[in-house]
Amino acid sequence: MGSSVTSKLRAVLFDRDGTLVVDVPYNGDPDRVQPMPGAKEVLDALRAEGIATGVISNQSGIARGMISADDVASVNARVEELLGPFDVWEVCPHAEQDGCTCRKPAPGMVHSACRKLGIPEAGAALIGDIGADVKAAEAAGATGILVPTPVTLAAEVAEAELVAQDLAGAVRLLQERR
């Protein structure tokens, strides 16, 4: 146990595409959802410890007219079917040029998830595969961890304070820090 409430990990939030599930750009087809290796085991372990889980996902394909909000909801339902229930979902339907406060790297979805969970941002971590995920976490006052994939830019890896090889490694890093 940490010495203060804020140092205790209360929730782990995850980027969806490229972190929890294999990235299929603008996926609107639940049949194409494929979990990343180890994702289910990591989530099951967090849930068993009583740590809340959530998903924070930019879905600009909605604003671009490439997929509908219903498509995204169907894909998210399939993610839960395969990986178990999440305590909170945050989806940004906007495009980059919309200038919203929710689209990562903005902190809006992290703030909203923490509000819904009733926890301080310092009690949350966000694990993702690109720099925008880490920046959103840090801007919100949460811990950001990068789990690079082949599409992650070298500069994003260099900038990230916490980098792990996989989801299990990311959670281990969090536990070591607490």
Q: pLDDT at position 8, please? A: 87
Per-residue burial over 104-120, b if 16 or more Cβ lie within 10 Å, else e, is bbbbbbbbbbbeebebe
Q: pLDDT at position 98, please? A: 94
Distance CA 111, CA 26 (A): 25
Distance CA 127, CA 125 (A): 7
Q: pLDDT at position 90, please? A: 98
* For residue 60, pLDDT beyond 90: yes
122: closest CA among 106, 103, 102, 142?
Answer: 142
Q: Give start and end residues of each alpha helix (H) in the chain.
A: 39-48, 69-83, 108-117, 131-140, 154-159, 167-177
Distance CA 21, CA 48 (A): 21
The pair of structure tokens assigned to 74 is 């169907």
Mean pLDDT of 142-158: 96
Mean pLDDT of 129-147: 97
Please confirm, yes or no, whether 31 is among the known catalytic residues: no
Q: Which of 17, 71, 129, 133 is catalytic?
A: 17
Mean pLDDT of 4-11: 68
Please confirm, yes or no, whether 15 is among the known catalytic residues: yes
Question: What's the mean pLDDT when you consider all of the chain?
Answer: 94
Tell me the Ramachandran region of residue 28: left when phi exceeds 0, alpha when psi lies from -120 to 50, beta otherwise.
Answer: alpha
Q: pLDDT at position 175, please? A: 87
Q: Are 145 and 127 in contact (CB under 8 A)?
A: yes
Q: Which of 15, 71, 129, 133 is catalytic?
A: 15
Mean pLDDT of 12-33: 97
Confidence of residue 5 (pLDDT cuts 50, 70, 90): very low
> Where is average pLDDT lowest: 5-9, 27-31, 53-57, 101-105?
5-9
Q: pLDDT at position 7, please? A: 57
Give pLDDT tens digits for 98-128: 999 999 999 999 999 999 999 999 999 999 9
Q: pLDDT at position 112, please? A: 98
Pick the CATH number of 6-177 from 3.55.10.10, 3.10.105.10, 3.40.50.1000, 3.30.530.20: 3.40.50.1000
Mean pLDDT of 39-50: 97
* For residue 2, pLDDT beyond 50: no
Q: What are φ and ψ of residue 135, in 5° steps?
A: -65, -40
Residue with the bigger pLDDT between 65 and 2: it is 65
Mean pLDDT of 64-91: 97
Q: Where do the domains of the chain lie?
A: 6-177
* For residue 34, pLDDT beyond 50: yes
